[in-house]
Amino acid sequence: MDLMEILKALFGDEALTFDQFAEKVNNAADVKLGNLAGGQYIEKEKYDDVSNQLKTANANLKGYDPDWQTKLAQAQADGEKKLNDYKFEQSVESAINNAGAADLVSVKANLDMSKIAQGEDGKITGLDEQLAELKTNKPFLFKSDEPQKKLNLCGPTGGAKAKSGSNIKSAVEDYYNKK
């Protein structure tokens, strides 16, 4: 049925006044009028195109992980923890080096890391006490301001020379007796 046949069935063959036209349109159950300029009508091709795009998008989403936001938040939290742990580790190592450690690894091996913490302000607590105790109990782990004496075994390097003789035994005895 074409448009003219639909209009003829709705309005008949006679001329109508506006009131008659409005009454027939309002009483017609199978006719719906719309303003096409307002975008109430979409061409079939456009509708089909959008429908196909929607089907393609839905097909692409199959297998999509609906928990991605949870996983993203967890990954960000893990990354923040690793970064904070790294910053803490670097702060501890810097404090150990500033304390005059001769060997960072050796000093760190003698620390109880469970008693060391970093506050919200970034300050390290529990480390200074342990470093002071280590300096007292194991001073060899830290650099000394006193120059070390060298033992001269009659070689080309300078150091303590044997007074009682020129052999190795006398050089060692002189070295250990000179404190």
Same-domain check for residues 81 and 134:
yes
Q: What is the pLDDT along the chain (179 residues), one digit of tens a residue?
A: 677 887 888 888 888 888 988 888 888 877 776 666 666 677 788 889 999 999 998 888 777 777 878 888 999 999 999 998 998 999 899 999 998 898 899 999 999 999 998 888 878 889 999 999 998 999 888 888 776 666 555 555 555 554 555 667 777 777 777 65
- Final residue before a domain boundary, out of 61, 81, 105: 61
Same-domain check for residues 134 and 156:
no
Same-domain check for residues 137 and 157:
no
What is the 3 state secondary structure string of the chain? CCHHHHHHHHHCCCCCCHHHHHHHHHHCCCCCCCCHHHCCCCCHHHHHHHHHHHHHHHHHHCCCCCCHHHHHHHHHHHHHHHHHHHHHHHHHHHHHHHCCECCHHHHHHCCCHHHCEECCCCCEECHHHHHHHHHHHCHHHECCCCCCCCECCCCCCCCECCCCCCCHHHHHHHHHHCC
Same-domain check for residues 51 and 95:
no
Same-domain check for residues 42 and 92:
no
- Final residue before a domain boundary, out of 24, 44, 61: 61
- pTM, two decimals, is 0.47
Which residue range is the domain that position 99 belongs to?
Answer: 68-141
Same-domain check for residues 163 and 122:
no
Split into its structural domains, the chain has a count of 3
